[in-house]
């Protein structure tokens, strides 16, 4: 591993700004958050960060590998820390609840796709739709 993300930013010619720190803190605090939610969360702490800055910052942080995003259903994309990304998302079509499970549930799938199709799965981006315990018929 290299140094802090601040150092990594500077090393690549980017700058460390309060907005970027705030967005990253918000993603950390929220665990799961849409750009809109992240923007709102930041406004509670400081005077605010513009929504377009949130989008640009998330794009940058994703490029750096600090955050990840997934698409959970119809709505906006959801961002979370890459460090926290070691899980698979379960989305219930009944109640809309999102829960996380350990990625080893997908081990068989990953292996089957690798050996059978030469496909290297990005488990951190895996979202499984279905019905949760409470919504099952």
Partner DNA sequence: CTGGGTGCAAAAAGTTTGCAGCGAC
Partner DNA sequence: GTCGCTGCAAACTTTTTGCACCCAG
Q: List interacting residues with DNA (CB under 7 A).
A: 10, 13-20, 34-36, 48-53, 55-57, 59-60, 74-77
Length of the chain: 137
Q: Are 108 and 125 in contact (CB under 8 A)?
A: no
Nearest-approach distance from CB 135 to DNA, in angstroms: 21
Burial of 27 (0-12, 13-18, 19+ CB in 10 A): buried
Nearest-approach distance from CB 71 to a copy of itself, in angstroms: 5
Q: Which of residues 80-119 bind a copy of itself (CB under 8 A)?
A: 90, 92-93, 99, 101, 105-109, 112-113, 116-119
> Which of 51, 45, 53 lies closest to 19, judged by CA?
53
Nearest-approach distance from CB 45 to a copy of itself, in angstroms: 29
Question: What is the C-alpha separation between 106 and 137, in angstroms, rounded?
Answer: 24
Nearest-approach distance from CB 92 to a copy of itself, in angstroms: 8
Of the pair 35, 85, the CB lying nearest DNA is at: 35
> Which of 70, 83, 124 lies closest to 102, judged by CA?
124
Question: What is the C-alpha separation between 44 and 55, in angstroms, rounded?
Answer: 18
Interface residues toward a copy of itself, by CB under 8 A: 71, 73-74, 77, 90, 92-93, 99, 101, 105-109, 112-113, 116-122, 125-133, 136
């Amino acid at each position: 591993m290299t140094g802090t993300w601040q150092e990594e930013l500077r090393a690549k010619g980017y700058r460390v700004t309060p907005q970027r720190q705030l967005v990253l803190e918000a993603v950390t605090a929220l665990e799961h958050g849409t750009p809109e939610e992240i923007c709102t969360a930041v406004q509670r702490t400081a005077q605010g960060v513009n929504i377009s800055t949130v989008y640009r910052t998330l794009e940058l942080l994703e490029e750096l590998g600090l955050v990840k995003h997934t698409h959970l259903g119809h709505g906006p994309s959801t961002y979370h820390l890459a460090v926290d990304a070691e899980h698979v998302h379960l989305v219930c079509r009944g109640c809309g609840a999102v829960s996380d499970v350990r990625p080893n549930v997908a081990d068989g799938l990953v292996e089957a796709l690798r050996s059978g199709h030469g496909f290297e799965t990005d488990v951190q981006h895996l979202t499984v739709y279905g019905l949760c315990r409470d919504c099952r018929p």
